[in-house]
Structure formats: structure tokens, C-alpha cells
Chains A and B, each alone.
Chain A
Amino acid sequence: MLIKIAKPGDLRESDVTPESVYLSRRRFMGGLAGVGAGLALAGRAQAAASDYQDVPAGNPPGWFKPKLENAEWDSVVPADRELDKLTPFEDATHYNNFYEFGTGKSDPARNADSLETQPWSVVIDGEVANGGRFDLEDIAKPSRLQERIYRLRCVEAWSMVIPWLGIPLGDVIKRAEPTSKAKYVKFETLVAPDQMPGQDSSFALIDWPYTEGLRMDEAMHPLAILGLGMYGRELPNQNGAPFRLIVPWKYGFKSIKSIVRISLVEEQPVNSWQAIAPDEYGFYANVNPKVDHPRWSQATERRLPNSLFNPNIIDTRMFNGYADEVASLYQGMDLRKSF
């Protein structure tokens, strides 16, 4: 299946809508077609008030509220919403890997208050005609906020299901007008040791800034989004506020948080984990049950929250269950080598 990021109207449902991704509960047209087709055919115009009842209100910047009101809810949802039930907000916000705020899973929730997310600007540079430093508001403005309920598979063999709010990464890249030399997209997280205690540790193995990368066609894929919110609100700091990447068919560490720089580059970037342990973490990091991490199996995952005597072990799916949509990106590649 070929996914072209096309002109409005170019995308037909059959091109982009995978079997596993229903368009909406009421099966409206649209879904991924919203990408490229602009605002065509929303999933749901209104969030069901009951969806996020227990979620504490945040403190979003003023420009975020109108975007939220105009969001396209349920734009992409899992096919089996019973199997892929939403992870409780409390768990999704208190079990995080965000080493800038400490290495323990509960450290980010404890320490991330110090992060200053307003104002926030992002540098877009490299092989682009329209680069510069942009206020986050201006990056987000032209795109409608979409809700994407994605499985999140951590390389540590646990997983969650998160309702993100974001804008297609492809939109942002297109607006930057990449040159013909732009082959990869490189992302960097904020460096601010005064706000991020983990960056102050002299024992840290990561060479800050945390860096990630995608191949151009991966970045342009309609499933790849830049996240601004989750659970019907803006991102909590520990989840990568105010602006992060979400690439649901890759291990979680690819989905870099608190982004301050997006560079279009010619050479394949070296992502942080690959730099630390190239035999354990590759550039692609596609979820793949057949290729084990050297220290543990990737064949199964523990869907969280679990309990002591029910570890909730389920089979891990190729490309995290998004194979229909993304497998074509990797045709002809040896995924054992390009892990």
C-alpha cells in the first residue's frame, strides 16, 4: 500500500484507512484522510464529556483552548477498543521514561514541575526554504488538533493506550518547505539543567540534548504526529510538554519529548540510545516481536496497568499493530539488521 501525502482530495479511504484503524465510532468518513485533505470530515466534533471526567485540568496557554474546542475527536482509534482500553490518566502520567527528570519511572511526575513550557519556541532549520525560530502557537495554528488513540509500546516490553492530541508531523514539515537534500528529520529535546535535574547528573550516559530521527518518508506518514495534548487537555510536563513526537509503530523512545529543534538533514542522524548502545538500540526501532532486545524478548508485552498475579501479557504485534499502514515503508529491508 502506498501512502502519498497528497493534495486535498487525493486520498481515498481505501488508500489510507487500515483495517485496524476505524474512522470513528460512528464510522464517519475521514480518519486519516484528514491528513492532506485538511479539515475534511471529522471523526467527532465534540469530545464526550464523560471521556475524561477524572482528568485534572491543566494550565494551557491561551491559544490552546480554541484549538481544543475545534479538535477532531476520535480521529484514529484502535479497532478493538476493548482490548486496547485507554490506560488511566494517573498511570500514563506517573510511569514515564523521561531521563531528563530522573531514571525512575515516578521521577518525571515528581520533578517535571520545574519545566517552563510557556512561552515555547521551536527552531526549524537545515534543508528547508522556510526555516527559523517559531512560536509553538504559530507552528500549531494552521493545523486542526486531532485526537489519535494509539498503542504505546515501550522497548522495555510494557505498553499502554494513550489518547493523544496532535497535529500531523507531515503538515509541519511541508510548511517548512524541505529542499531536495532533506532525507531525514532530526529532533532535539530542550537542554536546561536548571529545569531538568537529570541533565545535571555527572553519571548520565546520555549526551544531551536527547536526539531522535526519522527517515523523511516515515516523518511524512500520516500516523506520525506532533503531540500537544492527551486525555482531552494539554500535555502534562512529564509526558513531554509542550510539544513532542508520537510515532506509534516504533518503540516509545523514538517519540522524543519537549522538542525545541527540528532539523531537516541529508545524513541519517544518530539517535541518543543508538549512541549509547548501538547493539541494543537501532535507528529504526520499529516494534518487532521477532527481533529481541539482547536483554529481553520482544515477543510479548505487559499491557499496563497490570496486577501481581495477572501480568496482562499479550502478544506484541508487528509494527505495534500498524503493519497495514506502515509495512510498505520498509519493503525490501532486512529488519533484523535495520532494527
Chain B
Amino acid sequence: MSMPRYTLTLWRIAVFIAALVPLAYWSSQVAINAAGPEPGRYLLLNIGQGILWMLLLTLSLTPLTKLTRWKGFTLIRRQLGLWTLTYALLHLFCYAVFILGLDLSRLGSEIVRRPYIIVGMLALTGLIVMGVTSNKWSMRKLGKRWKTLHKIVYLVLGLGLLHFLWVVRADLEQWSLYAAVGALLMILRLPPIARQLPKFRQLIKRPGQARA
């Protein structure tokens, strides 16, 4: 599907702004005192779910591209990946600053002592590794290994869900929804199923796509 260049640029800017909206909204809730008596934890938890949103959206781009062949989805993959990392860093920031009051010795001891935090840190490390190798230079340098390296995104998804599962206290409904979407996205990557995706395109064909 061909589109003018500027449309794609606008699309990328729109995605950028859309990714900022939740952060702006949560911050405004804190600013107007509508985030409850523990605003730091409000941000921590919301941003924590935000990481999963970003991660799942990032992982949905490849199947969406297969379904639609629209290159706009591929174009925002790196951006959404970096948003996932940004949210994760903000989540860690909330924890260290708003929950622990920047008590670094406690941060250190909590990181080594609590399994759910260890798992979170592992996931964050994976995101950081992908983030710093998300540039053209690294892609050239790593060649084929780049693709292999970025498969750790699946590990990050698993670790993120495990971390969340450990946080959940009494009701698994929300967690199950994230896990179900994650599982669906993984299934869509299984080669026999991934191969079928372009065929579905015929079913959802719209006039614009017919010319692609």
C-alpha cells in the first residue's frame, strides 16, 4: 500500500503523542490530587501496566503487518520498543524514588532479595539490551545475530507476566487478560499459523489495500 511520505511521518508523530498521553493523564491526576493518598504507588502500578501495554502493542506489529502489509506498522516498531523501555525505566524510577524514598541501600537489598523484583530487573535488563542495540550501527555490526538477540523480547514478555503474577494478590482476572493477549500474540508467531496470516488479508480486504 503506498502512501505519501508525509502521511507516514504524521503517523509516527501521532504514535509518539499517543504514547505520551497515558503518562500525561496519570501525571495530571497526581497534579490535581485525584490519584489518592499514595500518588507514587498510583504511578508505579499504572506505569507497570503501561509497560505491558507497550510490550504487547510492539509484539502485535509483526502479525498486523502480515495481515495488512501496511508498512506503517513496521515503521513504529522501534519506537514502540523504546517506549516499552521508557515506561519500564519510569516504573523503576517510581519504585526507587516514590516508594523507597531513594534509599539506595534498600533498593540494592530489595533487588537481590525479592524474587518478583529480580524477575522485573531481568526483564528490564532485556529491554535495555534491546534498546541500546536498536540503532542501525548495531544492526550492521551484529548482522544475523541481531535478530537472534532481539528474540529476548519473548523472554521479557514471560518475565514481565511472571513479575505481575507475583504482584497480584487476590484476583487473577486482569492478569489473565494480559496473559491471554500475550499468548495469542505468541501463537500468531508459530510458523504454521504465521503463514496463514496473509491469507486472512483477503477476508478483511478494503478498497485501499486492494491496490497494494
Contact = CB atoms under 8 A, between A and B. Distances in A.
Contacts of A94: 36-37
Contacts of A202: 173
A103 B116 contact: no
Contact of A205 (B110, B166, B167, B171): B171
A262 B82 CA distance: 55
A328 interface: no
Contact of A309 (B97, B103, B115, B167): B97
B30 interface: yes
A88 B38 CA distance: 13
A204 B174 CA distance: 11
Contact of B170 (A160, A206, A306, A309): A206
Interface residues of A, number: 32
A297 B98 CA distance: 15
B22 interface: no
A305 B166 CA distance: 26
B37 A311 contact: no
Contacts of B116: 295
Interface string A108-121: 00000000000000
A206 B169 CA distance: 10
Interface in A295-339: 295-297, 302, 304-309, 311, 313
Contacts of A158: 38, 41
B178 to A, nearest CB: 12
Contact of B38 (A203, A206, A302): A302
Interface of A: 87-88, 91, 94-95, 99, 103, 105-106, 158, 160, 198, 201-206, 276, 294-297, 302, 304-309, 311, 313
Given A105-B36, A308-B98, 16 more contacts: A99-B170, A99-B171, A103-B170, A158-B41, A203-B171, A203-B173, A205-B171, A295-B114, A296-B110, A304-B38, A305-B37, A307-B39, A311-B40, A311-B99, A311-B100, A313-B101
